[in-house]
Amino acid sequence: MRDLFDKIYKDKGPLGKWAEQAEGYFVFPKLEGPISNRMKFRGKEVITWSINDYLGLANHPEVRKVDAEAAAEYGSAYPMGARMMSGHTQLHEKLQDELASFVHKQSAYLLNFGYQGMVSTIDALVSKQDVIVYDVDAHACIIDGVRLHLGQRFTYKHNDLESIEKNLQRATKIAEQTGGGILLISEGVFGMRGEQGRLKEIVELKKKYNFRLFVDDAHGFGTLGKTGAGAGEEQGIQDEIDVYFATFAKSLASTGAFIAADKEIIDYLKYNLRSQMFAKSLQMQLVVGALKRLEMLRTMPELKEKLWENVNALQNGLKENGFDIGTTQSCVTPVYLKGSIPEAMALVKDLRENHGVFCSIVVYPVIPKGLILLRMIPTASHTLQDIEETLVAFSAIRERLENGTYKRLSASVSAAMASKE
Domain ranges of the chain: 5-54+301-419, 61-299
The pLDDT of residue 142? 95
The pLDDT of residue 341? 85
Confidence of residue 421 (pLDDT cuts 50, 70, 90): low
Q: What is the 3-state secondary structure (H, E, C) of 103-170?
A: CCCCEEEEECCHHHHHHHHHHHHCCCCCEEEEECCCCHHHHHHHHCCCCEEEEECCCCHHHHHHHHHH
What are the distances in angstroms from CA 348 to CA 18, 25, 39, 292, 393? 16, 10, 17, 37, 11
Residue-wise pLDDT for 172-197, tens only, equals 999 999 999 999 999 999 999 999 99
The pLDDT of residue 362? 85
Residue-wise pLDDT for 379-401, tens only, equals 999 999 999 999 999 999 999 99
Q: What share of the chain is helix, strand, coil (3-state, %, to 5)?
A: 45, 15, 40
Residue-wise pLDDT for 55-111, tens only, equals 999 999 999 999 999 999 999 999 999 998 999 999 999 999 999 999 999 999 999
- % of the chain surpassing 90 pLDDT: 83
Residue-wise pLDDT for 128-180, tens only, equals 999 999 999 999 999 999 999 999 999 999 999 999 999 999 999 999 999 99
Residue-wise pLDDT for 225-273, tens only, equals 999 999 999 999 999 999 999 999 999 999 999 999 999 999 999 999 9
Out of 3.40.50.620, 1.10.287.1400, 2.40.110.10, 3.40.640.10, the CATH code matching 61-299 is 3.40.640.10
Instruction: Give the chain's count of helices (H) and strands (E).
Output: 17, 14
CATH number listed for the domain at residues 5-54+301-419: 3.90.1150.10
CB 278 within 8 A of CB 82: yes
Q: Is residue 411 predicted with pLDDT exceeding 80?
A: no
Task: Please tell me the distance from the alpha carbon of residue 76 to that of residue 284, in angstroms, as a whole number.
Answer: 7
DSSP code per residue over 7-28:
HHHH---TTGGGHHHHBTTTBS
The pLDDT of residue 25? 87
Quote the mean pLDDT of the chain. 93
Q: Is residue 364 predicted with pLDDT exceeding 80?
A: no
The pair phi, psi for residue 38, each rounded to 5°, is -130, 130
Sheet holding 44-48, edge to edge: 31-32, 38-41, 44-48, 357-358
Residue-wise pLDDT for 244-255, tens only, equals 999 999 999 999
Task: Please tell me the distance from the alpha carbon of residue 346 to that of residue 411, in angstroms, as a whole number.
Answer: 10
Confidence of residue 22 (pLDDT cuts 50, 70, 90): confident
For the chain, report the end-to-end CA distance as a whole number of angstroms.
27
Sheet holding 333-338, edge to edge: 333-338, 371-376, 360-362
Residue-wise pLDDT for 289-324, tens only, equals 999 999 999 999 999 999 999 999 999 999 999 999
Which amino acid would we find at residue 280?
Answer: K
CB 286 within 8 A of CB 258: no
The pair phi, psi for residue 220, each rounded to 5°, is -90, -35
Kindly report which listed range (18-32, 151-165, 330-344) carries the lowest average pLDDT score.
Answer: 18-32
- Cβ within 8 Å of residue 134, ≥6 positions away: 142, 146, 153, 154, 155, 156, 184, 185, 186
- Specify the pTM: 0.93
